Structure 1
Amino acid sequence: MTESRLASPDAIRARFSNAMSAMYRREVPAYGSLMELVGEVNGDVLKRDTRLAQDLAETEQLGRIGDERHGAIRLGTARELATIRRLFAVMGMVPVGYYDLSEAGVPVHSTAFRPVGEAALRINPFRVFTSLLRLELIDDEALRAEAEAVLATRDIFTPGCLALIEKAEIEGGLSDEDADRFVAEALETFRWHPEALVSADLYGRLHDAHRLVADVVSFKGPHINHLTPRTLDIDAVQADMPKKGIQPKAVIEGPPTRRCPILLRQTSFKALEEAVTFPGAEAARGSHTARFGEIEARGIALTPKGRALYDSLLTKVRSRITPAADGSNAAEYERVLAEVFEAFPDDWREIRRQGLGYFEWRGSAAGIPSPDLEALLDQGVLRCSPIVYEDFLPVSAAGIFQSNLGDESVQSFVASPNQRRFEADLGAPVLDEFAHYAAIEQASLDACLAGGSSLA
């Protein structure tokens, strides 16, 4: 097959993202209501803030806002993780970053599969936060053995999906017809199955160990547990969710509201209680709570220095107050959060001066010896824009996990960072996000200094 007849990985990813969104809308009707609300809020923001609309258009970010999604799945075995890496590779998605959520009492470690090139992100920035269960963190050896036995017998990929993954690897891609088949086959991995693999008794014991363990082990596959649209005003979405009959979590995870947004802010509505059938001599009926709706707002990617400041401030906040799941101290938490984060500059020039964030440069400063970048910005010779943070926050992600599992499921696990083991299970190294953002910034600046960039 000639390369010209192959569907691009970006096109396959866009098809898959749209198919996933349609499936999740059918499975979780509140997701459709959430999408409508986010669309309304984003439209209002762009009408009201013409400068933001212009900036997004100039940086070719505007078109991606409405299509932007991230999903999340939880896997049970190293074999599943290695195969999901191959599946996402067909769609041009690579593992970026390592997250040890055991530090927040969640027995998984994770990576994010996503596109990394700017052109690919503009076409479709679909991401999937992918976690691998760490059964070794569960103390009950007998229960751990039972869970391992269940996971060893399941296959979360259809034969057709596996065949098409192998075909793509051998032939360097898939034809349009095969790409459509691949999307349909791959979607089966992420579909909700209400028929449990385990008895009601085993489900109960897994649930008592940790709700997330029950979620991973008890079912036929890693059902997508949320699908997250991006909003330009998460505070407005949080305030308006009740108007759509959706009850949001108590507080927004991440930094406070700012003029210059940083990293990631997330909120969600509570997990659904879904009917489940358990096998046995007499099939038992029960329920399972895991899947929920989430919304995110993205800001600038921070440098290691900026991230260290962010982490230190968030730690300071959490030492003073922890948000209660029932929202009883939400106002006080938000007050403390805003107060503590006054120490993080809320001005783009100051963020650049202190080296706290990554920026993309445009224009031409060719032939200017030792250019003063800030002066050239003032003169309009150069322009720069914050580089959007495309990844995730361990503490923020864990907060979303825990808020939907319930306060009673918060447990203390001994943190055991094990990125090398995770990468061995994955079958590949994860991309270092800081190095990636730094390379984007440096390449844009080099192009300006060489005269190879022009203002949009």
Structure 2
Amino acid sequence: MTLSQVSPDDIRSAFSQAMSDMYRQEVPQYGDLLELVANINQTTLDSDPALAARLDAQNETSRLGVERHGAIRVGTADELSTLRRVFALMGMYPVSYYDLSEAGVPVHSTAFRPIDKSSLQRNPFRVFTSLLRLELIEDAALRRQAASILAERDIFTPGARELIELGERQGGFARDQAERFVTEILETFRWHRDATVDHDTYHALHAAHRLVADVVCFRGPHINHLTPRTLDIDAAQAAMPDYGITPKAVIEGPPRRQWPILLRQTSFKALEESVRFADSDGGTHTARFGEIEQRGVALTPKGRARYDELLAQSRQAPAAADNLAHQRQLGEVFAAFPDDAATLRREALAYFRYQLSDSGRERLAGGESAPASLDDAVGTGWIDATPITYEDFLPVSAAGIFQSNLGDTQQQAHASESRSESNQSAFELALGRPVHDEFELYGRLQQDSLERVQQQLGIED
């Protein structure tokens, strides 16, 4: 990057803010959601000084107010691969593969996000991006019609395509180019109330699956939600009715814990919005909603296997009557998962970042000899071990959010036939590159920090 170029981190931050401003105008309840989350976060920090200090030490507080994730759905390989190029210019890369068709949602997905420590601290903006699986439309004629409709559209403006190529040639953007880039790319995510198909075609695709109609029948992949991060999703869920917002029935993900793990999510039901079809008929479309998330520590493969086992066990119980009962059932099952940082680290269930503590620096500067092992150094306060935040998503939770907003009648529409058709290779072919493995990314963050403190203290293990 030359001195005249804008950093990808700055472009990502500008785009995230522009997206948030646009969505707030399009979906006013999103503004209410931001106010709710800001109030909950401030109350949580005020009431828990230890949590506030820990977040400050991890540089988590500074990113909390700007942190968002969005979600979009595209219809073709060209749309997906071009979005990959767009997000790369913002310092965002595809991480993990998610097959939601196993839960009856006919898409497979990845999440574009920053992957290095400094970029995540600057702005961890993520976009969960799904590609429609047309092969899961059973009616062959309807499947061909959907493919034909998608082939005729271009979700990017001419200016956007020109700037993508320019940014790739130059290796980035000058300030004025970056501003134009954000403006042009934002058009891809804007809501368009005019459908590109007539009323009958829309309803035929809608009958195949509501999400198929959402992807195929409009000019672009309008952002279908933006999600702020809360420090207490249970309090947010309880407060939503006070803001005129009706929450989904249950919070998705693990139960409330002293040391949160992975990701918890809730949302309000998708809005019914007026649309105009190509034959001038009026109607409605339901797609866009609001969501809140709470993020915990990233789990290792060992920890994730234990989480998945307990989640599967919890799903064998009869459906709970309400969220409180659901959380109680989950809590009983997940009592088997350790809920203290020392055990999570000692048993290698979660990822941690290691750094010299203030005490360790003082003792090292005073000539005191450091402990011979990492565990001793952590146990005696030479080294701080802080949980690494989970930056990714959970397929079961994502499907649960989608289903709660699309209606429950079609949840299992594609579940039986999709397992053998799941194809990460096909997705990556459409994407134009392999996705990053989230475990490798977290492992690298942990190992880099570990090697740094081991070098500082002369510890070998």
Q: TM-score range by the shorter chain?
A: over 0.9
The residue that corresponds to 1:443 in the other structure is 448
Unaligned runs of 5+ in 2: none
Q: Is the 8 A contact 2:70 2:128 kept in 1?
A: yes
The 8 Å contact of residues 321 and 333 in structure 1, kept in 2 or not, is answered as no
Counterpart of 1:238, as a letter, is Q
- Asked whether the equivalents of residues 111 and 129 of structure 1 are also in contact (C-alpha less than 8 Å), the reply is yes
Q: Secondary structure in 2 aligned to 1:409?
A: coil
* AA in 2 matched with 1:408: T
Equivalent of residue 329 in structure 2, options 324, 336, 344: 336
Aligned position for 1:421: 426
Distance 1:203 1:196 in 2: 8
1:77 Cα shift? Answer: 0.2
- Which residue of structure 1 lines up, in the alignment, with residue 14 of structure 2? 15
Rounded Cα–Cα distance in structure 2 between residues aligned with 1:352 and 1:71: 31
SS, match of residue 19 in structure 1: helix
1:172-229 deviation digits (Å, cap 9, x = unpaired): 1011001000010000000000000111111111111110001000100000000000
Confirm or deny: 8 A CA contact 1:248 1:269 kept in the other structure: yes
- Listed as ranges, the gaps of 5+ residues in structure 1 are none
Per-residue CA shift, 1:314-358, capped at 9, x if unaligned?
1111111346xxxx4434322211111111111111111221100
Residue 55 of structure 1 deviates from its aligned partner by 1.2
Give the aligned residue type for 1:434.
F
Contact 1:423-1:429 within 8 A present in 2 as well: yes
Q: Secondary structure at the match of 1:220?
A: coil
In the TM superposition, what are the counterparts of 1:177-196 in structure 2 within 5 Å? 177-196=176-195
How far apart, CA to CA, are the structure 1 residues paired with 2:445 and 2:379?
A: 22
Give the structure 2 partner of residue 246 of structure 1: 245
Equivalent residue for 1:87?
Answer: 86
2:339 alignment counterpart:
346
AA at the equivalent of 1:335: R
The residue matched to 1:259 in structure 2 has which SS?
Answer: coil
Tell me which amino acid in the other structure corresponds to 1:371.
A
**Matching residue of 2:77:** 78
Check conservation: 1:93, 1:114, Cα contact below 8 A. yes
Amino acid paired to 2:81: A
Could you tell me how far apart the structure 1 residues matched to 2:325 and 2:33 are?
27
- Percent identity, aligned pairs only, is 59
Decide whether aligned partners of structure 1 residues 288 and 452 sit closer, same or farther in structure 2, where only a CA change above 3 A counts: farther
Query: Which residue identity is paired with 2:284?
Result: S
Write out aligned runs for 1:15-414 (5 A): 15-280=14-279, 283-322=280-319, 328-363=321-356, 371-413=372-414, 414=418
- Check the 8 A contact 2:371/2:377 in 1, yes or no: no
User: What is the RMSD computed on CA atoms of the aligned residues?
Assistant: 1.6
Which sits farther off after the overlay, 67-76 or 373-382? 373-382
Distance in 1 (CA, whole Å) between partners of 2:109 and 2:351 is 24
| Cα distance, 1:308 vs structure 2 | 0.7
Change over 3 Å in CA distance of 1:186–1:452 after alignment to 2: farther
Residue 370 of structure 2 contacts residue 382 of structure 2 at CA under 8 Å; is this kept in 1?
A: no
Tell me: CA distance 1:369–1:123, structure 2 relative to 1, closer, same or farther (3 Å): closer
- Tell me if structure 1 keeps the 8 A contact 2:250–2:322: no
How many pairs are equivalent?
446
Q: Distance in 2 between matches of 1:142 and 1:78?
A: 20
Deviations, residues 238-296 of structure 1 (Å, cap 9, x unaligned): 0001000000001100000000100000000000000000012xx10000001000000
TM-score, scaled relative to structure 1: 0.95
Contact 1:317 1:337 (C-alpha < 8 Å) held by counterparts: yes
Q: Distance in 2 between matches of 1:292 and 1:434?
A: 30
- How far apart in 1 are the matches of 2:244 and 2:207? 31
Q: Which amino acid aligns with 1:380?
A: G
Q: In structure 2, what is the Cα distance between the partners aligned to 1:144 and 1:7?
A: 43
* Cα shift at 1:370: 7.9
Q: 1:48-92 CA distances to partner (integer Å, 9 max, x unpaired)?
A: 111111111112111000000000000000000000000111101
SS in 2 for 1:319: coil
CA distance in 1 between partners of 2:162 and 2:230 (Å): 37
Aligned residue for 2:389, secondary structure, equals coil
The whole-number CA distance in structure 1 between the counterparts of 2:393 and 2:323 is 23
Given the alignment of the two structures, is residue 432 of structure 1 paired with residue 432 of structure 2, yes or no? no
Tell me, what secondary structure is at the counterpart of 1:110? strand
